[in-house]
Amino acid sequence: MTTAWVLATYILIWPFISLIVLAVIIGATVRDTRKARREGRDVV
């Protein structure tokens, strides 16, 4: 029964972990884009 609880917890929590990672990536991209725009250069 312990294995079932661990699996259920994993299935319920992984979308939140993915959302946090996505938010970090988007935040870094927005920050880099704003900095590049202020400095008058391309992001890439």
**Whole-angstrom Cα Rg for the chain:** 18
Convert the pLDDT of each residue in 4-42 to its tens digit.
999 999 899 999 999 999 999 999 999 999 999 999 998
pLDDT-derived band at 43 (thresholds 50, 70, 90) equals confident
Residue length of the chain:
44
Residue 31, both tokens: 């920050």
Instruction: Report d(CA 29, CA 23) in Å as an integer.
Output: 10
Q: Taking the model in full, what pTM does it have? A: 0.70
Domain boundaries, the chain: 1-33
Exposure class string for 5-40: b at 16+ Cβ within 10 A, else e: eeeeeeeeeeeeeeeeeeeeeeeeeeeeeeeeeeee
